[in-house]
A = this chain, B = another copy of it.
Amino acid sequence: MTDHSFLLSDAAIDVLFREARTANTFTDEPVPAARVHEVFDVVKYGPTAMNNQPMRLLLVEQGPGRDRLVQHMGGSNAAKTATAPLVAVIAADTGFHDRMDQHFPIVDDARSFFLDEGARAEQAVYNTALQTGYFILGLRAAGLAAGPMGGFDRAGVDAEFFADTTWTSQLVVNIGHPGVDSWFDRLPRISTDDAIRAV
């Protein structure tokens, strides 16, 4: 092993990557929304293009809100989302440009860089995905298991929760502590030979 080459401890690398798994079932242990706020409060420092920070979260507790979400989940995802202690709908804010003058004050009128709607939507989706990577690892760093899922009716979720906003749903993440038979066997990963070239 080459673990000595990491600055973080072997145990921390296990928590973030090697032993972390996508959870499909959860224990009853509740996850207060405040814990996700704490996670957001550190992952928000991860880099984005011109500091545009388009990721938004809708936290969905157990109760009527959860029922409204579950009806839009596809197939076997519905049961997972119904039982998770807490669920985060990750959204990309296509109106992020309205905050650019605050978020990127080192150039004049940073908002004007993002006036093209199509390019802005692409930036929102791409940088939200980057931030989603930070967020998933942040949840793990907090000792929480994450179950990210793309299989849901996006238009349905957007109409249900985001009609009055510029937010568009990207991913649903179940959050909790792993329950019984929470995951499948680890699936194969691509080799460095196939994934990395050099020049």
Interface residues of A (CB under 8 A from B): 2, 5-9, 12-13, 15-18, 20, 22, 33, 35-38, 40-47, 49, 51, 53, 55-61, 65, 68, 99, 102-106, 125-127, 129-134, 136-138, 140-143, 146, 148, 150, 161, 170, 184, 186-190, 192, 194-199
How close is A87's CB to chain B, nearest CB, in angstroms?
10
* B55 close to A141 (CB less than 8 A): no
Inter-chain contacts of A187 with B (CB < 8 A): 51, 103-106
* B141 close to A65 (CB less than 8 A): no
The one of B40, B103, B104 in contact with A196, judged by C-beta atoms closer than 8 angstroms, is B40
How close is A122's CB to chain B, nearest CB, in angstroms?
9
How close is A154's CB to chain B, nearest CB, in angstroms?
12
Q: Which residue of B lies closest to A51 (CB)?
A: B187
Inter-chain contacts of A47 with B (CB < 8 A): 22, 136, 146, 148
